[in-house]
């Protein structure tokens, strides 16, 4: 099956739409909290508003820091990203009362696209356990030929719908919307990094394994694809699940 591509402008628009969608919620909560502070003199309501502002500001910051590395041009001045930074933004984004994130990786600089792939796989692993649970991330091997192993364990675990097709660039619908663009983008990053990604499930545990491709891919200029055959983006907005 022919791998479909998105025009660079459409890809950037869908990614921006997705990131903005995920930041709107905490920013909106901050605005609501400030309105309460302005209009309500009740001390208990003011304390509630301040607590809401604090939590929402931390959430917005965590989402932006994660997006900056996972989807943006963070570290573009160099070719590597520190795995410690990847761990920090991942735990800031996903570790809460619902989902716990365990991280085992060397303290080292790894090629940028391989770190970006790792972060995008964390997003996919999170969506594999919709009711929360534990995500165990293990990185082994050197930066040029790493093994990325993610195990997501939780109630009602499942391989996210259509994730394989989207990552392969062969969506069944022939379109990519702002919800599916994250898996589609992860596939672009995997191919740019010359990495294969495999999914398996056993009971309530989903395993995502990424290793270097057996046959080395041609060097990729970046993630701006040529588009002899374009996918038309859907106008639909993503669901309310944050980056999942």
CA pair distance 33, 52, nearest whole angstrom: 6
160 in any annotated domain? yes
The pTM (predicted TM-score) of the whole model is 0.83
Backbone phi, psi, residue 173, to 5°: -75, -15
Judged against a pLDDT cut of 70, whether residue 233 lies above it is answered with no
Give the rounded percent of residues in the chain with a pLDDT score beyond 70: 85
How confident is residue 228, by pLDDT bands cut at 50, 70 and 90?
A: very low
125 in any annotated domain? yes
CATH number at residue 158: 3.30.565.10
243 in any annotated domain? no
Section 217-241 average pLDDT: 47
pLDDT for position 68 = 92
Three-state SS string across the chain, please?
A: CCCCECCHHHHHHHHHHHHHHHHHHHHHHHHHHHHHHHHCCCHHHHHHHHHHHHHHHHHHHHHHHHHHHHCCCCCCCCCEEEHHHHHHHHHHHHCCCCEEEEEECCCCEEEHHHHHHHHHHHHHHHHHCCCCEEEEEEEECCCCCCEEEEEEECCCCCCCCCHHHHHHCCCCCCEECCCCHHHHHHHHHHHHCCEEEEEEEECCEEEEEEEECCCCCCCCCCCCCCCCCECEECCCCCCCCCCC
How confident is residue 215, by pLDDT bands cut at 50, 70 and 90?
A: low
Q: Between the CA of residue 72 and those of 127, 197, 220, what are the distances in Å?
A: 21, 21, 17
pLDDT for position 1 = 63
190 in any annotated domain? yes
CA pair distance 94, 110, nearest whole angstrom: 22
Q: Between the CA of residue 194 and those of 48, 122, 148, 211, what are the distances in Å?
A: 49, 18, 13, 9
212 in any annotated domain? yes
Tens-digit pLDDT profile for residues 35-67: 999 887 788 888 999 999 999 999 999 999 999
CA pair distance 244, 240, nearest whole angstrom: 9
Judged against a pLDDT cut of 70, whether residue 241 lies above it is answered with no
CA pair distance 73, 216, nearest whole angstrom: 24
Judged against a pLDDT cut of 60, whether residue 151 lies above it is answered with yes
CA pair distance 22, 237, nearest whole angstrom: 11
Closest of 176, 101, 108 to residue 144, by C-alpha: 108
pLDDT for position 192 = 93
CA pair distance 145, 110, nearest whole angstrom: 10
Place of tokens 């692993």: 125
User: Mean pLDDT over all residues of the chain?
Assistant: 86
227 in any annotated domain? no
Give the rounded percent of residues in the chain with a pLDDT score beyond 90: 67
How confident is residue 74, by pLDDT bands cut at 50, 70 and 90?
A: low
64 in any annotated domain? yes
Min mean pLDDT across 31-45, 73-87, 137-151 is at 73-87
Cα dihedral across residues 2, 162, 6, 114: positive or negative: negative
- Judge contact between 178 and 124, C-beta under 8 A: no
pLDDT for position 6 = 86
Q: Which of the pair, 244 or 199, is modelled with greater confidence?
A: 199
Q: Which of the pair, 214 or 107, is modelled with greater confidence?
A: 107
Judged against a pLDDT cut of 90, whether residue 113 lies above it is answered with yes
Judged against a pLDDT cut of 90, whether residue 159 lies above it is answered with yes
State the residue range of the domain holding 86. Answer: 8-218
Tens-digit pLDDT profile for residues 7-40: 899 999 999 999 998 899 999 999 999 999 988 7
Judged against a pLDDT cut of 70, whether residue 118 lies above it is answered with yes
Number of domains within the chain: 1
Closest of 85, 216, 78 to residue 145, by C-alpha: 216
């Amino acid at each position: 099956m022919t791998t479909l591509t998105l025009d660079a402008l459409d890809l950037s628009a869908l990614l921006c739409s997705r990131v903005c969608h995920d930041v709107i919620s905490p920013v909106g909560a901050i605005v609501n909290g400030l309105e309460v502070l302005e209009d309500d003199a009740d001390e208990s309501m003011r304390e509630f508003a301040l607590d809401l502002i604090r939590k929402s500001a931390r959430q917005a910051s965590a989402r932006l820091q994660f997006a900056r590395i996972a989807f943006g041009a963070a570290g573009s001045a160099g070719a590597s990203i520190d795995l410690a930074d990847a761990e920090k933004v991942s735990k800031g984004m996903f570790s809460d009362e619902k989902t716990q994130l365990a991280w085992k990786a060397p303290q080292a600089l790894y090629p940028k696209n391989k770190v970006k792939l790792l972060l995008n796989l964390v997003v996919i692993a999170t969506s594999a356990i919709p009711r929360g649970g534990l995500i165990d991330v293990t990185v082994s091997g050197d930066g040029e030929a790493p093994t990325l192993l993610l195990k997501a364990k939780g109630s009602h675990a499942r391989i996210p719908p259509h994730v394989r097709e989207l990552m392969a660039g062969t969506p069944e619908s022939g379109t990519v919307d702002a919800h599916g663009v994250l898996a589609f983008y992860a596939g672009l990053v995997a191919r740019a990094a010359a990495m294969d990604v495999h999914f398996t499930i056993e009971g309530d545990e989903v395993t995502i394994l990424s290793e270097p491709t057996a046959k080395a891919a041609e060097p990729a200029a970046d993630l701006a694809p040529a588009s002899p055959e374009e996918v038309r983006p859907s106008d639909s907005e993503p669901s309310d699940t944050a980056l999942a």
